[in-house]
């Protein structure tokens, strides 16, 4: 009777998790969705702690309570202190820890496996170990690369795609061999674990910075799948359902982001797009850019009918989203139509710009997706490009030799006037120069994005 009641409780938790994921599909409902998901996971944890199981005489509630308290304190402090620019790093770390949990569960169960353990059970355990290990070490390297602690050139080998293929075959082959042995020696199990972690590290090594949003999404799906396989091992419905939901949503998001970049997932993994190469293409070295000062730009913005703001990672780095919103409020009060054009892979994680602007209380209806934004950009009076580079590069449409060619971009150049807020003329993560900077209808405002926006705000207030 108790088990039946608890199974219904698991169902309630799963439904709450589904509602949470649905809510998080839109920035407008993301906060409420996050609360639903947290409630679902909380119900699942509480139910698991009272669910009847074999060996219930071993009371480990003290250890469990201690782990819950420490984890909650760590998570709370990390979430409260993290800067918006470091949000992708925190996501990578938390995602990696989920993979690490799956690895620990698999290792413990494999150590206890004996001759009586069936091949199917061993296969699921091996799958949990392999997927969780790749998610863990891959996420850690993604964190290090995002945080600037490791550069692509430091971890990428010649013919790295071939190296990864060899490591993958070796890891899977070793796992299949151990599965057939039945009784797995500890030494060989440790060897497989090390090999899995090395492959996860190597898997992410050749992937460039511009592809990091895709990688984070892919690794998130890996963590979900490892949780699902762990749920099969323990016969835990909520782990299975939750893992499948996270794995499926991560996979769908990965596919959508690849489509937004007009590239296959295989190309992302082995293509090394955005590897930080030397600047090339786009413009000749003798071309000259035109600059604008804050006073003239403020007048142009104040008397414009329509202004489109294109945010990029530079806006996050400068922590200028609230200053940007202040400028938006001033212009809107003067009757200017201000909207934001959001590229799907702008920033360093899925939805980075949406989260950034939501923090500044920018209304969700002002955020335009790629198609709607391009319709609005055509003929807009002024387009402010703040810290974005590759996602507004015309070479994506005009230069077949460019690594960006074929990638859907925001067509800022179709506006009457574009203004780029940028520290310097350095190329973006794809390592190529942007010919937009040299177009007749473009001007540059050099400097820190926050300082430049603060000057603009001051000038607008004086008009």
Radius of gyration of the chain (CA): 25
d(CA 402, CA 430): 9
- Catalytic: 390? yes
Q: CA 131, CA 222: separation in Å to the nearest integer?
A: 6
Q: What is the CB neighbour count within 10 angstroms for residue 119?
A: 10
Q: Buried b vs exposed e over 255-279: b needs ≥16 C-beta within 10 Å?
A: bebbebbebeeeebbbbbbbbbbeb
* Alpha-carbon gap, residue 447 to 310, rounded angstroms: 17
Beta bridge partners of 384: 309, 419
Name the catalytic one among 211, 328, 390, 395.
Answer: 390
**Which positions are annotated as active-site residues?**
390
């Amino acid at each position: 009777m108790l088990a039946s009641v608890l199974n219904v409780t698991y169902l309630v938790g799963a439904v709450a998790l589904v509602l949470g994921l649905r809510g998080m599909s839109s920035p407008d409902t993301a906060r409420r969705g996050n609360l639903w998901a947290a409630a679902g996971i909380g119900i699942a944890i509480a139910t698991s702690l009272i669910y009847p199981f074999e060996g219930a005489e071993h009371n480990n509630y003290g250890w469990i309570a201690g782990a819950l308290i420490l984890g909650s304190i760590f998570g709370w402090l990390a979430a409260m202190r993290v800067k918006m620019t470091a949000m992708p790093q925190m996501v990578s770390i938390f995602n990696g820890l989920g993979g690490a949990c799956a690895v620990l569960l698999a290792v413990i169960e494999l150590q206890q496996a004996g001759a009586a353990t069936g091949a199917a059970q061993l296969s699921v355990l091996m799958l949990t170990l392999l997927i969780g290990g790749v998610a863990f070490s891959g996420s850690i390297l993604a964190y290090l690369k995002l945080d600037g602690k490791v550069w692509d050139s430091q971890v990428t080998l010649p013919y790295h795609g071939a190296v990864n293929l060899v490591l993958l075959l070796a890891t899977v082959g070793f796992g299949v061999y151990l599965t057939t042995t039945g009784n797995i020696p500890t030494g060989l199990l440790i060897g497989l674990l090390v090999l899995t972690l090395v492959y996860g590290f190597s898997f992410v090594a050749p992937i460039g910075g511009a592809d990091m949003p895709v990688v984070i999404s892919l690794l998130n799906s890996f963590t979900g799948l490892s949780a699902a396989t762990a749920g099969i091992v323990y016969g835990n419905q909520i782990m299975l359902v939750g893992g499948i939901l996270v794995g499926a949503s991560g996979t769908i998001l990965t596919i959508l982001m690849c489509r937004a970049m007009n590239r296959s997932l295989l190309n992302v993994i082995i293509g090394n797009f955005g590897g930080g190469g030397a600047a090339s293409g786009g413009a000749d070295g003798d071309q000259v850019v035109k600059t604008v000062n804050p006073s003239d730009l403020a007048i142009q913005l104040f008397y414009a009918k329509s202004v489109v703001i294109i945010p990029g990672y530079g806006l996050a780095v400068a922590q200028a989203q609230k200053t940007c919103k202040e400028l938006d409020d001033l212009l809107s009060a003067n009757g200017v139509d201000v909207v934001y054009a959001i590229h799907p892979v702008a920033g360093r994680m899925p939805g980075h710009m949406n989260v950034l602007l939501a923090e500044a209380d920018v209304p969700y209806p002002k955020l335009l997706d790629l198609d709607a934004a391009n319709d609005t950009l055509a003929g807009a009076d002024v387009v402010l490009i703040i810290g974005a580079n590759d996602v507004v590069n015309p070479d994506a449409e005009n230069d077949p030799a460019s690594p960006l060619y074929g990638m859907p971009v925001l067509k800022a150049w179709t506006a009457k006037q574009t203004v780029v807020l940028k520290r310097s003329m350095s190329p973006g993560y794809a390592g190529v120069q942007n010919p937009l900077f040299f177009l007749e209808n473009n001007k540059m405002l050099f400097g820190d994005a926050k300082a430049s926006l603060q000057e603009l705000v001051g000038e607008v207030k004086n008009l």
